[in-house]
Structures are given as C-alpha cells and as structure tokens.
Structure 1
Amino acid sequence: MKAFTVFVLLCVVSGAHSSSRDESCSNHDKAMDDALKTVCAKTCMRWSVVNSYDMTDGIGQVLNSATHNRCGSSEGIVTINELQIDPSPLVLPGNINLAFKVNVKRDLQSPIKVEVTVWKSILIWIHVKDFAFEDVCEFLTDGKCPQSFIDNNIPCSCPIPEGEYNFPSSKFPLKASSIPGGDYSVRFNVNMGPTLVLCEDVYFTVA
C-alpha cells in the first residue's frame, strides 16, 4: 500500500496528465531527474514533472534518522503509525531498509491523486520540485509487486481494502547516484476525489 508513497519521496513514486518538463533546465537538474526516474521505476509507476527549479548543493544539518509528521489539522483515511527508513544518511547508490505500520480506515479506490512537493535544506528550506500523479491506481494495474509486499499481504493494486498493514523491515536496492547530498523534506498530499487520504511530511538526509 505504501510502496508508492515511500519511493516517490526518493523521486518517491509516478502521472498521466502533468505538463511536460521545461527544456531550459540545467544539466545538473536533468541528472537529478534521471536519478529520480530510476527510483520511480522501482514502484511500478510512471513519472512526470509539473514544475522544475534549479537545485544547488548546500550545507544542512544532518538528520540522525528519517522522520515524518502529519501535515495540516485534518486526519485522512490513512494514518501512518510507524515509518522507518534507513540507513541515515542514505548512501546512493545503495540499499534502503523500509518498514511501516499504517491504518486504512476505508477502502481506497480510483481515482487517487498524489501530489508531491520536495524541499532541500540550504540553511533555509528551498523549494526544489513538484510532482503530480492524477490517479496512482492507473499505474498499479500491471500486476507487478515486490515479493516482500506479497509475503506480508500488502496490496499493490486498487482497490486497497481497509485494514491494518504491517510491513517489517525489508531491503530495497536504489541505483540513483546523482542526487545531491543534504537534508530533504518531502510532502505527500493524497486525495481520493474530494476526500483527504493522507497528508504527510517526510524528512531524510542523503550522504
């Protein structure tokens, strides 16, 4: 269930109706895009960028571990009770260990829109990129699912039944190598039609 959310954060994770990328972007930014597309491919989703911003390396405070917080005052259909992403800082290319416990309060079905906003800490938080996935269910219909998700009864297609989903720590390889080091903040805003599914901020460090 949370495969698309966690990996799009490193993109994280996949959009059908987004506008095309501005070709005036720098080579550095293009390298970032290529790296993120590699990560997105791991989640069986497609990729698109709705806005682009120049990314500049900077010095940020190193986070001891990845953290997450609910954004906004309203609680959505999905609650993340636990989320573990390590090592910290992430070393790319390399392996990521992922574990989570989530509560889905009602069935999730198409359309599920995912909006992702990425910031990078350069003394202050700098807006880096936006991603929009109009209906993530469209990209979860090819039957592909990590074996560790299958073993732990984590659905990889819609509809996603309500219930508690517990995913023990599992290792996933990440080939991306061009993501600049530093602290990142990624906001996931997920909606099913007019209904809030999830709004979560995730913070992590790349070595």
Structure 2
Amino acid sequence: MLGAGLALALCALQLCPAALGGSRSPVLVERSRSRRVIELVEFAWENCGDETDPVVVKSLTVAPDPITIPGTLTLSGTVSCGETISSPLKAVLTVEKQLGSVWIQLPCIDQLGSCTYDDVCTLLDDAIPPGTSCPEPLLTYGIPCHCPFQEGSYSLPESNIELPEVELPSWLTNGNYRVQAVISSDGNQLACMKVTFSLQS
C-alpha cells in the first residue's frame, strides 16, 4: 500500500503519474504551452483521519526544500495498511489557496483542483499498464503499484525520483496552498492526508 500511500502525497500535488514514472497526465497540459520552473517550498504533511482508518502514513520524508520541478526528489516513507484494499477506491481532493487571511477552495477545472476521482485503481492502471513492471524505486523494494493492496506495512528507503518538466494552468499562481486527500471504498473512509506548500514559479 506504500505505492498508493506515497502516491497520495504526490497526487495531492497532482504531479503523478509522471512522478511515479508513468506517462504525463493530461491534467498538466497548459493551453498556452508556456513552460515554467516550479518550486514547492516548505512542503509539510499530516494524517487527517481517525484511529479507525485502515491506511495510515507513518512517516514521509521529502527533500530538498524547495522541491524543484523538473529536478530530483528524495523520498522515503512507511505506510501501514490494516486490511486488503481493492477497487473501487474513491479519492476526493480539496485544494485551497490562501488569499490574505482567508482560504479559498479552488474548483475542479480540467481534472485539476478540488476534484473527485471515482477509482484511483483505474488511474494507476492508466499510468502504469497492468502487466508491466512497477517503476523504480517501487520495483526494487517490492512495493505494489496496482490494486489490490494487501494488508501489511510497506517501507521505502531513501530513494531518488526524477520529476519531469510539467506544465501548469496559468490560474495556478504563486502562493500558499493546502490540499486534503480522502480515500474511501464503498462509503467507508480508508485514509486521509493533508499537505501544505508554497508554490513559486
């Protein structure tokens, strides 16, 4: 489940599947085709579920600060999965930007922003076609990248991941952001994670 757990953090930033080694996601297409060097500053995370959630991110270390895209991300983490998790896995992302002292929820535009994804398992299959090997470093450490995810604890030692150049919408401007990702199945919450960061480009 670490593949999905760490993907929570990356997908909360909506930088995967590219960050996982899959094809570039269409949600990252900038219509003006202008490219920017992106920096994520002061990245922080926390679990936002309760003790009954079967999936908990126990640790997650992300470096450097700032995270530069394109660039090299150094990642390590541990995820505990208290039960076997299978399709469908619904993901609800809430993306907010700080305007002065107020946090404003951003809408879902072209599958970017505060969006609901009906099945993360399908997204993983689209990014990494079934029958192909999981990308590194998941393959080396035996971490699954497809549903179902078996009960257990999964750990990724410190590993380097190359983040490709991406294109972001012009409305995703510099500022402070917070993102909440809630994963559920059949109406039951499985995991909740929040990340905060400042975007500079």
TM-score (norm 1): 0.70
Alignment correspondent of 1:81: 58
Q: Give the secondary structure class of the aligned counterpart of 2:69.
A: coil
Q: How many residues align?
A: 168
1:9 aligns with 2:12: yes
1:180 aligns with 2:173: yes
- Structure 2 runs not aligned, ≥5 long: 29-39, 107-112
Deviations 1:83-125 (A, max 9, x none): 1222223223322222211100000101111111111223232
Q: Is the Cα contact below 8 Å between 1:119 and 1:184 reproduced in 2? A: yes
| Alignment map for 1:129-168 (pairs within 5 Å) | 129-141=113-125, 142=129, 143-168=132-157
Structure 1 pair 47/6, CA: closer, same or farther in 2 (3 Å)?
A: farther
1:169 aligns with 2:169: no
Structure 1 pair 102/121, CA: closer, same or farther in 2 (3 Å)?
A: same
Aligned equivalents of 2:74, 2:104: Cα separation in 1: 27
Deviations 1:135-164 (A, max 9, x none): 111233313522200111211011101111
Q: Give the secondary structure class of the aligned counterpart of 1:137.
A: helix
* Cα displacement (A) at 1:3: 4.3
Alignment correspondent of 2:43: 66
Q: Which has the higher contact order (CA 8 A, sep 6+)?
A: 2
Alignment correspondent of 1:34: none
- Structure 1 runs not aligned, ≥5 long: 13-38, 50-61
Alignment correspondent of 1:127: 105
Amino acid at match of 2:63: D
Aligned equivalents of 1:170, 1:161: Cα separation in 2: 23
Aligned equivalents of 1:6, 1:156: Cα separation in 2: 15
* Cα displacement (A) at 1:73: 4.3
Compare 178-187 and 103-112 and name the one that shifted more.
178-187
Deviations 1:54-84 (A, max 9, x none): xxxxxxxx96x42222225454110111112
Alignment correspondent of 2:196: 203
Q: Is the Cα contact below 8 Å between 2:97 and 2:104 reproduced in 1? A: yes
Q: Is the Cα contact below 8 Å between 1:184 and 1:204 reproduced in 2? A: yes
Amino acid at match of 2:199: V
Aligned equivalents of 2:175, 2:57: Cα separation in 1: 25
Amino acid at match of 1:70: N
Q: Is the Cα contact below 8 Å between 1:190 and 1:199 reproduced in 2? A: yes
Aligned equivalents of 2:99, 2:138: Cα separation in 1: 36
* Cα displacement (A) at 1:47: 5.8
Alignment correspondent of 1:109: 86
Identity %: 26
